[in-house]
Amino acid sequence: MIKALAIFSKDFRSYFSSIIAYIIIAIFLVISGYFFFSLVGFFSLLSMQATQQPMYEGGLNLTETILTPLFMNVSVTMLFMIPILTMRSFAEEKKAGTTELLFTYPVSDAAVVAGKYCAVVGVFMVMLVPILLYPVLISIVGGQIEYVTFFVGILGLVLMGMSFISLGVFVSSLTENQIISVTVSFGMLLLFWIVGWSASFAPKGLAPYLTNISIIEHYKNFAQGLIDTQDILFYTLFIIFFLFFTLRVLESRNWRG
């Protein structure tokens, strides 16, 4: 545990010792901020129209108009940003030739995987922190936010982000080329994202399976403020699956040796 924390600390600090983490976080916040202010502006416009047409006032729902679209758009942004965060997890050390040096220390493969994975998760959490200010901004413009819905949506983003990271770390462990790591990670995540689209025209027996392995299908409930244990289980198993195979990749160096 202590050794995993040491690796976490080293990797976490290394992210912020370079400009890459700051650029990724800045781009993420600019894009998510744009989505947020656009949706708030759209909601304000609808509210003004509702005051002129009282019959529509009861149809305005802040969750459906702002929160759900916001969370879905932020999840798309994560799809692009997280592979860039994970690309350096193992690939950078392999290219620099420091991977073998790392394993000469008395540290287990599991501690290495846990430390590096948690370091990326830590950076991701820092990236999400400013979003917690959105309820305050909504209240400033006179909106009454549903805090349960908001924090359930955030929980879903955390679980989805951790899933993205587990896959990205796995791919990074396979190569020393960071560009390949980004490209393959994004491609695999995109496949898990769009696979559910085929359910509408897939054979009847196959359709449920395509929906069940779609990473975005399991987020839709969170975006609406609903918690389903099946969705939590999916993300948990997704994380465990790719971390397990990352560990197998590291252990394979002993077979090659």
Q: Give 166-206 pLDDT, tens digit per residue.
A: 999 999 988 888 899 999 999 999 999 988 777 777 677 77
Residue 98 gets which letter from DSSP? Answer: -
Cα 145 to Cα 32, 92, 130, 135, distances in angstroms: 18, 43, 17, 6
**What is the pLDDT at residue 257?**
47
Identify whether the C-beta of residue 149 lies closer than 8 Å to the C-beta of residue 224.
Answer: yes
Q: Is 133 domain-assigned?
A: yes
Please tell me whether residue 195 adopts helix, strand or coil conformation: helix
**What is the pLDDT at residue 156?**
95
User: Distance between CA atoms of 180 and 185, rounded to whole angstroms?
Assistant: 8
Which residues span the domain enclosing 76?
2-251
Q: Is 20 domain-assigned?
A: yes
Q: Is 257 domain-assigned?
A: no
- Please tell me the total count of domains within the chain: 1
Cα 23 to Cα 60, 120, 158, 175, 179, distances in angstroms: 37, 15, 20, 24, 17
- DSSP annotation string for 110-145: HHHHHHHHHHHHHHHHHHHGGGGGHHHHHHHTT---
Residues 6 or more apart from 151 whose CB is under 8 A from it? none
**What is the pLDDT at residue 104?**
59
User: In which residue ranges of the chain is pLDDT below 50?
Assistant: 256-257
Q: Is 256 domain-assigned?
A: no
Q: Is 177 domain-assigned?
A: yes
Q: What is the pTM of this model?
A: 0.90
